[in-house]
């Protein structure tokens, strides 16, 4: 603009030509600069998408054989091929737990890569949340047992209404949290319960997962849901985590118009995670 105005107010032809050339050069430079920036942005977007697709393909490829291994291990542990002695059973249980961890790690990665590109398709249906949670507790019993922890399921006194949601995604979201409760507890154990609540016209289910574990500092109670917050303490104590599980769980709960939050009296005092889900939305 300045060059253009200066050009209009030139005193002679020489000054006019000089300013005209300057203006032309500035426009040319800006054009190439802006085009370069746009190209760079689209390149970055393409790279991001490629990275996400790569993670997604690799995760699928890894998950399939691990799931097959899990099936065979379950059959062995259930005694389908005969009773096992204590020692081989103990070793197989360890293999089973490690395999489970790997599957969950891959699921986390896959979910986050899908989340990034809003490809996480939801399949909503009406189902029993209560049965789903008790199934997860059953599945994680072996892990808790191995760490000498109790994993208590406080069955609701009366049957709870079915909810409207995506059972597969909610399963993964809740599994993350109960699995964390076991992972971050050394002594005592984990208690899981669901209550029905009436909020005005709305019926809701409140799932509570409380542990007697390592607890959470008050300034991290919110940031742990934002992804990649593992805390200095946990990074030292548990090397394998990535700090992605809770972020995924939060996104899933929000997609169900629910709420998720954590409470803890601080380090060493245990933690309680709450998930509130509307029966209908
Ligand atoms: P990860 O467990 O892989 O690190 P998460 O997103 O599941 O990732 O959890 C984020 C962080 O929140 C953990 O690193 C840990 O510091 C903290 N956390 C989660 N659950 C618990 C729990 N039950 N007790 C104590 N800390 C927890």
Q: pLDDT tens for the chain, 281 residues: list them.
A: 887 888 788 888 888 888 889 889 999 999 999 999 999 999 998 887 787 777 777 777 888 888 888 888 988 988 888 898 999 999 999 899 889 888 888 877 777 766 665 666 788 999 999 999 999 998 888 889 888 999 999 999 888 999 999 998 899 899 989 999 999 999 999 999 999 998 777 899 999 999 999 999 999 999 999 876 666 655 555 545 556 789 889 989 999 999 999 999 999 999 999 999 999 88
CA-247 nearest atom, ligand 1: 6
Q: What's the CA-to-centroid distance between 180 and ligand 1, angstroms?
A: 6
Q: Is the distance from the beta carbon of residue 182 to the nearest atom of ligand 1 less than 6 Å? A: no
- Stated pTM of the model: 0.71
Rounded to whole angstroms, how far apart are CA atoms 234 and 251? 22
The response to whether residue 224 sits with its C-beta less than 6 Å from ligand 1 reads yes
The whole-number pLDDT of residue 11 equals 84
Ligand 1 centroid, distance to 215 Cα (angstroms): 10
Please report the pLDDT score of residue 239 as a whole number: 46
Specify whether the CB–CB gap between 211 and 150 falls below 8 A.
no
CA distances from 235 to 144, 220, 225, 238, 249 (A): 21, 14, 16, 6, 20
Q: Which of 174, 240, 241, 252 for a ligand 1 pocket mutation test, highest count of atoms within 8 Å of Cβ? A: 241
- Determine the distance separating the centroid of ligand 1 and the alpha carbon of 82, expressed in angstroms: 38
CA nearest ligand 1 atom 12, residue: 224
């Amino acid at each position: 603009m300045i060059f253009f105005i200066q050009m209009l107010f030139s005193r002679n032809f020489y000054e006019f030509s000089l300013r005209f050339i300057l203006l032309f050069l500035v426009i040319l430079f800006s054009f190439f600069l802006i085009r370069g920036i746009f190209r760079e942005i689209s390149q970055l977007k393409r790279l991001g998408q490629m990275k996400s697709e790569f993670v997604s393909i690799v995760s699928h490829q890894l998950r399939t054989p691990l799931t097959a291994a899990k099936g065979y291990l379950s059959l062995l542990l259930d005694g389908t091929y005969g009773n096992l002695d204590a020692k081989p059973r103990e070793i197989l249980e360890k293999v089973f737990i490690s395999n489970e961890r790997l599957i969950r790690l891959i699921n986390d990665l896959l979910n986050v890569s899908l989340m990034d590109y809003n490809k996480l398709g939801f399949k909503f249906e009406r189902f029993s949340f209560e049965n789903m949670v008790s199934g997860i507790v059953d599945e994680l019993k072996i892990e808790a047992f191995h760490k000498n922890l109790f994993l208590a399921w406080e069955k609701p006194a009366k049957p709870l209404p079915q909810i409207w949601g995506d059972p597969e995604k909610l399963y993964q979201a809740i599994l993350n949290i109960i699995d964390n409760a076991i992972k971050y507890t050394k002594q005592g154990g984990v208690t899981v319960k669901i209550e029905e609540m009436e909020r005005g016209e709305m019926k809701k289910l409140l799932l509570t997962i409380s542990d007697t574990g390592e607890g959470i500092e008050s300034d991290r109670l919110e940031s742990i849901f934002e992804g990649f917050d593992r805390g200095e303490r946990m990074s030292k104590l548990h090397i394998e985590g990535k700090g992605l599980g809770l972020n995924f769980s939060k996104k899933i709960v929000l997609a169900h118009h629910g709420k998720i939050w954590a409470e803890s009296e601080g380090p060493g005092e245990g933690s309680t995670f709450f998930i509130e889900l509307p029966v209908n939305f």
